[in-house]
């Protein structure tokens, strides 16, 4: 079963968000790096990484990353990886959904798509850092915790002074432990 099959079956059967049929989910490839960086920049909220970093994600971390396309091109991306010292934890690094695709369930569907992959069945926790002003992202992860029926907790992690002036602190949010039945 490929990633897009999983997306159609789970998302459309478990929610009423029919516009999601417009999106196709797949693993990124190295050649997607440039388009991914453009999408991340277009959010105006995320720290865009170097193009090369997104090329590397497609080359080496495709198993824990997902992108979404519609007929107009790339419109969603999630980068994530297993914590090197605690591989049961999926750390979600960045989630970006293009303006035209927001509030249709795509952000949540991409994370669910990752968790439903055979190579991630043993994941029992999701971690991410989210600035406290980012209501959309906090809402997304709270919805994910509800969906997984898992505890959602926040704790201090990266203080603002780790970053250049103007950057907010990045508290750690943790979801889990959960049984990954997706």
Ligand X SMILES: CC(C)(COP(=O)(O)OP(=O)(O)OC[C@H]1O[C@@H](n2cnc3c(N)ncnc32)[C@H](O)[C@@H]1OP(=O)(O)O)[C@@H](O)C(=O)NCCC(=O)NCCS
Q: List residues near ligand X by CB under 6 A.
A: 43, 45-46, 94-97, 102-108, 130, 134-137, 139-140, 143
- Least separation, in Å, of the C-beta of 159 and ligand X? 18
Question: Can you say whether residue 73 is alpha, beta or left, with left for phi > 0 and alpha for psi between -120 and 50 degrees?
Answer: left
Residue nearer to ligand X on the CB measure, 44 or 118: 44
Question: Considering only CA atoms, which of 127, 145, 111 is closest in space to residue 7?
Answer: 111
Alpha carbon distance 56, 29 (integer Å): 9
Residue nearer to ligand X on the CB measure, 64 or 137: 137
Residue nearer to ligand X on the CB measure, 76 or 176: 76
Residue nearer to ligand X on the CB measure, 122 or 159: 159
SS (HEC) of 18-65? HHHHHCEEECCCHHHHHHHHHHHHHHCCCCCCCHHHHHHHHHHCHHHC
**For the range 157-166, what are the long-range contacts, defined as Cβ-Cβ under 8 Å and sequence gap of 24 or more?**
157/129, 158/129
- Least separation, in Å, of the C-beta of 56 and ligand X? 18
Sign of the four-CA dihedral 135, 90, 99, 55: positive
Alpha carbon distance 65, 94 (integer Å): 10
- Least separation, in Å, of the C-beta of 87 and ligand X? 21
- Least separation, in Å, of the C-beta of 72 and ligand X? 16
- Least separation, in Å, of the C-beta of 94 and ligand X? 5
Residue nearer to ligand X on the CB measure, 23 or 178: 23
- Least separation, in Å, of the C-beta of 33 and ligand X? 18
Question: 169, 156 in Cβ contact below 8 A?
Answer: yes
Residue nearer to ligand X on the CB measure, 4 or 143: 143
């Amino acid at each position: 079963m490929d990633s897009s099959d999983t997306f159609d079956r789970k998302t459309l059967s478990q929610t009423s968000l029919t516009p999601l049929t417009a999106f196709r989910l797949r693993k990124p490839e190295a050649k997607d790096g440039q388009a991914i960086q453009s999408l991340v920049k277009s959010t105006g909220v995320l720290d865009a990484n170097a193009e090369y970093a997104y090329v590397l994600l497609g080359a080496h971390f495709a198993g824990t990353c997902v992108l979404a396309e519609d007929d107009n091109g790339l419109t969603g991306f999630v980068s994530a990886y297993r914590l090197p010292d605690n591989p049961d934890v999926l750390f979600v690094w960045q989630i970006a959904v293009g303006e035209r695709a927001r509030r249709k369930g795509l952000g949540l569907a991409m994370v669910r798509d990752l968790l439903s992959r055979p190579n991630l069945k043993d994941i029992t926790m999701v971690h991410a850092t989210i600035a406290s002003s980012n209501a959309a992202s906090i809402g997304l992860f709270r919805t994910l915790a509800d969906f997984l029926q898992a505890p959602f907790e926040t704790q201090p992690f990266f203080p603002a002074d780790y970053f250049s002036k103007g950057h907010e602190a990045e508290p750690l949010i943790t979801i889990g432990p959960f049984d990954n039945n997706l």
